[in-house]
Amino acid sequence: LADTIRRTLSDAIEVGGTSLRDFTVGDGTPGYFGQSLRVYGRAGESCPACGTPVRREVIGQRSTFFCPRCQR
Q: What is the pLDDT of residues 4-13, one digit of tens each?
A: 888 878 877 7
Which pLDDT score, from 0 to 100, does residue 68 have? 92
Which pLDDT score, from 0 to 100, does residue 36 have? 61
Cα 36 to its chain centre, rounded Å, is 7
Tens digits of per-residue pLDDT, 3-46?
Answer: 888 887 887 777 666 655 555 667 776 655 566 677 878 899 99
Using DSSP's 3-state secondary structure scheme, residue 7 falls into helix
Which pLDDT score, from 0 to 100, does residue 25 have? 64
